[in-house]
Chains A and B, each alone.
Chain A
Amino acid sequence: MRFYEYESRQIVERAGVPVTQYGYAKTADEARAAAERIAGPVVIKSQVLTGGRMKAGGVKFADTPDEAAAHAAEILELEINGHMPRGVLVDPKAEVAQEYYAGIVWDPTQKQPMMLFSDMGGIDIEQVAEEHPDHVGRGHFSNLLPFSDFQAKQVIASVGMTGRELNRATPVLTRLARMFADYDMTLAEINPLARLEDGSFVALDAHMEMEDEARPRHRKLLEELGISEDDDREAYEPSDFERNVAAIDSADHRGVIQGKDHGFEGNIGLVIGAGGGSLTLTDAVRNQGGRPANYSEIGGNPSVSKACGLAKQVLQKDGVEKIAVMMSIVSNTRVDIVARGVIKACLELDRDPGETIAIFRIPGAWEEEGFKILDRYGIEYCDRSVSMWEAAGRAVAKVQGSADPDASGREAEEASG
């Protein structure tokens, strides 16, 4: 879960890293009031969960409270990369001597958190790492042993910093590292970290992300930041399809279903599973010229109503002509129950299951029971001797065939005969 900048600043502040006396505003009037309180030049920054704010015009400078209010009014209406801002941050323009970068990320190869520090802040750390590798210091720290200052000091000293600067920057990186561990962060960045003319360090911007799975154990922090449990911070607004599938899933504990359709706009509905199987099958459909209408996952042992619910949601999506019901070999999924579910979905929507289900491929212990039911409705099915690729190919061919008026005429004749 990604935090907004104004939340991230509160988090680093709690960790003991100084921040500027910024204000958070949801209206132009509030922005004016914040600028009046600051009583000096300010920066107005859009609060959106996406990068590239500066380029998009989401960051503006103001010399007077009136100017601050005018910029805030504009920025509050400005969409950036499909995101509307939640508010603006009104930040005093700081007298900066130098900008630095301080960050903590996970290194999945080493399986430990890694500190990153650079004396070239304010720009993307990847760019610095590529162009000026000697200006990026790195250091891992243990998940079990207590963190100690020297670890941060080593990283900062490795980019050539010394003297008072080194001694004042060290506690900043130490506090960031401890905060990263204490709050289950997956990313904690202060960029830029500024050294002011008086030699003190302040965070001018912060970017924090917390692991979703760890949210339950940080309820107190989230509550204090005013973040509710249903504020899931997805990268985009969930669609009706996604919301409906999630609601069906949570209403019944048997089995797990998931549906996504962000970025999908095709005519083949996919009722597929599970994790790796869904990735494999979505590729298999696309790579054979098919256009999936959605991504989905069925896992575990879902009930008839759950399988039916997912299939219905997929079938009701705009442009869906047929659905393909496919999984990799299953061990505990009742194939007959899934078959009943998808057939029920067709019938309830007044669709002929034999016509609507392009292919059914769920090999597993319960397949014989499933085949009996599928036979009754004239649905094409296959066992493990037909590969996932081939099953997907058959579904694609059928949907493409039905787009051809002659082919659908033939099918209609066969069906009536």
Chain B
Amino acid sequence: MSILLTESTTFIVQGITGREAVNLTRECLDFGSKIVGGVTPGRKGRDVHGVPVFDTVGQVVEANGAIPDGSVVTVPPAFTKDAVLEAIEAGVKLVVIVTERIPRRDVAQMVELANMREARIIGPNCLGIMVPGVAKMGGIGGPAKDAAKAYTPGSVGIMSRSGGMTTEIASTLTAAGLGQSTAVSIGGDAIIGSTYAELMPLFEADDQTEAIVIYTEPGGRMEAQLVEWRETNQGAQRPVGAAGAARLPIVAFMAGRFMDDEEMKGMSFGHAGTIVEGKEDTATEKIARLESAGIPVVERIDEIPDVVRDKLGVTA
């Protein structure tokens, strides 16, 4: 199947009347996604590409007689926390936050509430979720026609700290005849709703997924956390093939190796989360850590398909 998103998933768009949100709504509808409402405070009664607009999430629930499964939040940073808390308190279980430049404390508060309510956050500063041929939630892949060119259904799961590179990787896999099960743009900030390690159990439980590709960058502990997750779920405790053991091979690409240079210390490039604060979070250190856990780190995107195929052959 897929993770997080299926053909029957219903979702809303918060901030739907914004310029980018209008495009995103069109793209998602064209791709086959089920958008059941939009929210912009004060704009009740309008519609965006046929999607009715409401003032509150509660009004959408009332009008539909059901709580939507998800929400794509694309409102300015100062209002994002409020919008996300509103969605979670209305019972929404999957929130994709597109907005960037949200202060960490706001993100941490949203995530803590999500954990209390058993909801999940993807992002912020992300392009969303793509299930090739089925649905997309967010701007990932762009217009439906372009998205279909880059993404094809198949067995590779993608998780990426860069929205744009998610599509570049998918397109490279597609060109090599390898389709994708689900691609998740997880976001480029220092604190995000769902990390690699937090999404791995979902991919492990998905029978369509046979391999994982991750796009990584310097900064943060997310890669170390993935390695720890794997070590706990595989190896001595649970050998490959044992019940509950991690079964999926992972292939990583690391961008931003140039940031290891002495002159680049304390600077961030590309995404807010790339700032290197300690010894552990440099590209070199992360590559060594991933490789020691049996996760190959390729130097070029175009090497990914061969390494994935190789891994699939080994584990098949």
Contact = CB atoms under 8 A, between A and B. Distances in A.
Question: Is B truly associated with A?
Answer: yes
B103 A214 contact: yes
A112 B147 CA distance: 36
User: Number of contact residues on A: which range applies?
Assistant: 35 or more
Nearest to A390: B302
A213 B258 contact: no
A263 interface: yes
A318 B168 CA distance: 32
Interface string B216-242: 010011100100000000000000000
A275 B271 contact: yes
Contact of B164 (A184, A263, A287, A330): A330
B247 interface: no
A274 B139 CA distance: 15
Contacts of A213: 77, 101-104, 272
Interface residues of B, number: 66
Contacts of B142: 330-332, 364-365
Contacts of A295: 269
Given A295-B269, A387-B300, A211 B103 contact: yes
B171 interface: yes
Nearest to B255: A279
B183 interface: no
A286 to B, nearest CB: 5
Nearest to A392: B300
Interface stretch (A103-111, A159-167, A399-407): A103-111
A389 B263 CA distance: 24
Contacts of B307: none
A144 interface: yes
Interface in A371-417: 384-385, 387-390
A135 interface: no
A284 B108 CA distance: 35
A210 B263 CA distance: 23
Interface string A201-213: 0000000000101
A332 B98 CA distance: 15
B259 to A, nearest CB: 8
Contact of B269 (A142, A279, A364, A365): A279
Contact of A329 (B164, B195, B261): B164
Contacts of A328: 164-165, 167-168
Given A108-B222, A214-B103, A276-B161, A331 B146 contact: yes
Question: Which label, helix, strand, loop or mixed, suits the secondary structure of the A interface?
Answer: mixed
Interface in A255-312: 260, 262-263, 273-280, 282-284, 286-287, 295, 297
Nearest to B278: A126
Contacts of A170: none
Contact of A331 (B104, B143, B165, B271): B143
Interface in B99-158: 101-105, 107-109, 111-113, 116, 139, 141-143, 145-147, 150
A297 B191 contact: no
A283 B221 contact: no
Contacts of B188: 275-276
Contact of B270 (A111, A126, A214, A276): A276
A279 B175 CA distance: 23
Interface in A151-196: 181, 184, 186
Contacts of A387: 172, 300-302
Nearest to A262: B263
Contacts of A385: 175
A112 B278 CA distance: 18
A329 B167 contact: yes
Contacts of A273: 164
Given A277-B168, A328-B167, A282 B103 contact: no
A283 B257 contact: yes
Contacts of A331: 139, 141-143, 146-147, 167
A349 interface: no
A228 interface: no
Contact of A365 (B146, B221, B255): B146
Contact of A262 (B105, B111, B146, B267): B267
A111 B191 contact: yes
A334 B9 CA distance: 31
Contacts of A279: 162, 217, 255-256, 258-259, 269-270, 274
Contact of A143 (B105, B165, B221, B272): B105
A329 B267 contact: no
B50 interface: no
Interface in A3-35: none
Contacts of A388: 168, 300-302
B301 A280 contact: yes
B163 interface: yes
A46 to B, nearest CB: 19
A235 interface: yes
Contacts of A111: 107-108, 111-112, 191
Interface string B243-268: 00000000001011111010111110
Contact of A282 (B160, B165, B258): B258
Interface of A: 106, 108-109, 111-113, 126, 142-144, 181, 184, 186, 211, 213-214, 216-217, 235, 260, 262-263, 273-280, 282-284, 286-287, 295, 297, 327-332, 363-365, 384-385, 387-390
Given A143-B108, A143-B112, A211-B104, 16 more contacts: A108-B221, A108-B222, A112-B108, A144-B109, A144-B112, A217-B103, A262-B267, A263-B261, A263-B264, A275-B271, A276-B217, A277-B162, A279-B274, A295-B269, A363-B171, A365-B146
30 contacts: A106-B104, A111-B112, A112-B112, A126-B278, A143-B112, A144-B112, A184-B104, A213-B104, A235-B267, A262-B263, A262-B264, A275-B162, A275-B164, A275-B269, A276-B160, A276-B163, A276-B271, A277-B168, A279-B274, A280-B165, A282-B269, A283-B256, A328-B165, A328-B167, A329-B171, A331-B139, A331-B146, A364-B146, A387-B172, A388-B300
